[in-house]
Amino acid sequence: MDVKAGKKTFLIVFAIAVFAITVFAVAGENGLIDVIRLKKERDRILSQNREVERESERLRREIELLKADKRYIAEIARRELGMIGKNEIIYKIERTEDRERD
């Protein structure tokens, strides 16, 4: 019977060791949970980096246009500052609905 008791004890100790190793591999420091979390964080950072690179390239193109293209500068001035060119006339058209409300 001592052999059976020894085998049983060995199996219990072995099962506890396997369980402990599994717990540490999954939940311990640098375990599977940390690896998954770090992978998600890396993917998020890479995505942000791609977005910043696209924005940077867009800004580089805009800088080149602002340096060299007078028509582009005029378009920006009209759109953002409400400016008009030398020989341009602005016509303000009021709708009849607008007049009746006033």
User: In the chain, pLDDT over 90 holds for what percent of residues?
Assistant: 42
pLDDT tens-digit readout, 50-101 = 999 999 999 999 999 999 999 999 889 888 888 888 888 888 888 877 555 6
Give the three-class secondary structure for 102.
Answer: coil
- Rounded Cα distance between 96 and 32, Å, is 70
What pLDDT was estimated at residue 101? 60
Question: Residue 23 has which token pair?
Answer: 């717990």
* CA–CA dist 30, 24 (Å, integer): 9
pTM: 0.54
> Could you tell me the sign of the dihedral formed by the alpha carbons of 82, 83, 88, 92, in that order?
positive
